[in-house]
Structure 1
Amino acid sequence: MERSRIAVAGASGLIGSALVRSLTADGHEVVRLVRRVPRTKDEIRWDPEARFVDAADLTGCHAVVNLAGAGVGSRRWTKAYKARIQGSRLLGTAALAEAMASLDTPPRVFVNGSAIGYYGDTGDRVVDESAPPGQGFLPELCVRWEAAASPAERAGVRTVFVRTGLVVARHGGAWGRLFPLFEAGLGGRLGSGRQYWSWVSLHDEVAAIRHLLDSDDLSGPFNVTAPEPLTNREITAAMGRVLNRPTLFTVPEPVLRTVLGELSGDVLGSTRAVPKRLLESGFTFAFPDIEGAVRAAL
């Protein structure tokens, strides 16, 4: 993609900050959506919960990337926090989509966040982008999250949904909480360890988003996960090998359910998602194996 003006919501998060660094390094003009009063010319104000963004601020943008949303695994899922998770995604996505649709010359592409939570618990069954949504809070959220982008789609904006897996990164996200435990020798499997985790390195996550931004013929949902999902037991063993630490500890399912509440279903659930459409589009993973991804994160 030629040097362009790209708006990024969620630019301070794990994936967003890495994406902004990548785009800026290649000479793109990145404008970040912030909730406070803008301090520099590369910031524009929005309020996702209030469904507000000034469409004029998006004028001249080639692309909009929306990675904003309250952390799904940040805290216990109380009724209030579940409402915050939903609002931060649905209202923010709708605000951006409607703002783009109102412009005489809208951005050419809208890359919107989503998650493999769309599929729910699939057990040992492999799922690609053609699979239907599962049941429960996360699948229902993902369906509504993607649907919220429909005003942009109807306005002719090429719209892509990035169904992201667990991102392997040293700081931030689920892996950011795993690393300190494993480094202290306290790592181990969660529950039975037989549940599949569809993971992706932070490097490949950013590269995939860049690929989807650049490919004018790609739209719709894309699983952004490494080609081979692994069980929690296999990932635990790999972490132990790379960090040279024992992995003797096990957190039983009843303990996880007591501590995490409804969130434990996401930790103990099994989603064996594969990036069929991403691979078919010609994307190549730099870190297709878990040990390489863990070493890259370190």
Structure 2
Amino acid sequence: MRIMITGGTGLIGRQLCKALLSADHDITVLSRHPDTVKEKCGAAVRAFGSLDEWSSDEVFDAVINLAGEPIIDERWTEERKECLWRSRVRLTEDVVRRIKASNHKPSVLLSGSAVGYYGDGGNKEVDESAPTSTDFGATLCASWEETAQKAAAMGVRVCQLRTGLVLDRTGGILAKMLPPFKFGMGARLGDGSQWMSWIHIDDYVAMVLVLLHHAHACGPFNMTAPEPVTNRAFTEKLATALHRPAFFVAPAFVLRLALAERAYLLLGGQKAIPVQMTGLGYRFLHAKLEDALLDLVG
């Protein structure tokens, strides 16, 4: 297949490119830094610096839209919120416009989203039928998904990837947590009762490949493992995997002072269940957190 990937130089994109190249797919990656694409994604990967390079005669069989600025790294000023919106919704609008202008429409669009679509779900399990929330993160995800869904009117199969916390020792949340935990400075967040919907990077990539090739898969998919855990349990299991204690607590009021509006991303959570993916018959490589952590850091 000839596949266009946005966000291909990110944590997920790099691993996905490796898997796709090993299966002899032809990959093009959209990047603001096209000169780095071959180093990060593979020597055989072609780079676009702009979607304007996607001509109407260009043939892509599939588009995987993973681009998006990190949501928690910077304070949510109005300027930053616009940047987050532009990197997700506006870029997806541009992708859909390029699909519309293409003489050869891709058969499938796999487009990013997040379990933040559900807002803070408390202790309630949420599957793909659950409604969205009204906070900024949820509104961002809902608009992101609605924009991608417009490609369906052109005969394109659309899947929205409601991504949880992707675990990989080379990047993302786990890489940020490892240094303090290795020094015995690991801490739970607040009372630790908030749910964390996680997914091993290998499962995430495998699930994307399933959705890429499954002709009847469409709509939203919770890209999470089947057994979410609380922050307290995650803290304990990571400390155990590293043979270190984790006695500390990051108080909720300190996180609220430091992160302001963003604090709910750490103090709230979602108990997301991948009903749609298991319905396709997918069997997880790492269904339990302790097994995933043993593979990644044990």
C-alpha RMSD of the superposition: 1.6
SS of corresponding position for 2:137: helix
Rounded Cα–Cα distance in structure 2 between residues aligned with 1:61 and 1:235: 40
Q: Does 1:168 align with 2:167?
A: yes
* Counterpart residue number, 2:269: 270
Paired position in structure 2 for 1:248: 247
Alignment of 1:73-92 (within 5 A): 73-92=72-91
Match of 1:35 in 2: 32
Q: Could you tell me which amino acid in structure 2 is paired with residue 280 of structure 1?
A: G
Name the CA distance, whole Å, in 2 between partners of 1:276 and 1:228.
12
Q: Could you say if the C-alpha distance between residues 148 and 278 of structure 1 is closer, same or farther in structure 2, counting changes exceeding 3 Å?
A: same
CA contact (8 A) 1:34 1:43 kept: yes
Distance in 2, matches of 1:56 and 1:181, equals: 48
Cα deviation 1:125-182 (Å, max 9, x = unaligned): 0000000101200110011001111331111110110000011111322222111111
Deviations 1:30-80 (A, max 9, x none): 11112246687711222xxxxx53441782211110110100122222222
Tell me, in whole angstroms, the C-alpha distance in 2 between the residues paired with 1:178 and 1:185. Answer: 11
| Counterpart mapping for 1:165-204 below 5 A | 165-204=164-203
Q: Distance in 2 between matches of 1:53 and 1:228?
A: 42
**Can you list the C-alpha shifts for 1:175-230, whole angstroms capped at 9, x where unaligned?**
22111111111102100100111110111111111111010100110001000110
Q: Aligned letter for 1:45?
A: G
- Give me the whole-angstrom Cα distance separating, in 1, the residues matched to 2:146 and 2:254: 36
Tell me, in whole angstroms, the C-alpha distance in 1 between the residues paired with 2:103 and 2:296: 42
Cross-structure match for 1:49: none
1:215-264, Cα deviation, whole Å (9 max, x unpaired): 01001100010001100001111001110000101000011111112111
SS of the residue 1:177 aligns to: helix
Q: 1:23 is aligned with what amino acid?
A: L
What secondary structure, in the 3-state scheme, does the structure 2 residue paired with 1:148 have?
helix
2:67 aligned partner: 68
1:131 aligns with 130
Using a 3 Å threshold, how does the CA distance of structure 1 residues 58 and 125 change in structure 2: closer, same or farther?
farther
Does the 8 A contact of 1:129 with 1:277 survive in 2? yes
Whole-angstrom CA distance in 1 between matches of 2:280 and 2:126: 17
**Counterparts of residues 275-290 of structure 1 (less than 5 Å):** 275-290=274-289
**Off by >3 Å, runs of 4+ in structure 1:** 36-41, 52-55
Q: Indicate conservation of the 8 Å contact 2:56/2:102, yes or no.
A: no
TM score, norm. by length of structure 1: 0.93
**Equivalent-residue separation in structure 1 for 2:102 and 2:293 (angstroms):** 43
Q: Is the 8 A contact 1:124 1:196 kept in 2?
A: yes
Q: Is the 8 A contact 1:222 1:277 kept in 2?
A: yes
5+ residue gaps, structure 2, are 39-44
Is the Cα contact below 8 Å between 1:73 and 1:174 reproduced in 2?
no
1:150 partner SS: helix
Q: Does the aligned pair in 2 maintain the 1:109–1:213 contact within 8 Å?
A: yes
Compared CA separation, residues 171 and 77, structure 1 to 2 (3 A) = farther
Is the CA contact (8 Å cut-off) linking 1:55 and 1:102 kept in structure 2? no
In the aligned structure 2, how far is the partner of 1:261 from the partner of 1:145? 24
Deviation at 1:103, TM superposition (A): 1.6
Tell me, in whole angstroms, the C-alpha distance in 1 between the residues paired with 2:267 and 2:79: 23
Q: Structure 2 length as normaliser, TM-score? A: 0.93
Aligned residues: 290
What amino acid is aligned across from residue 235 of structure 2 in structure 1? T
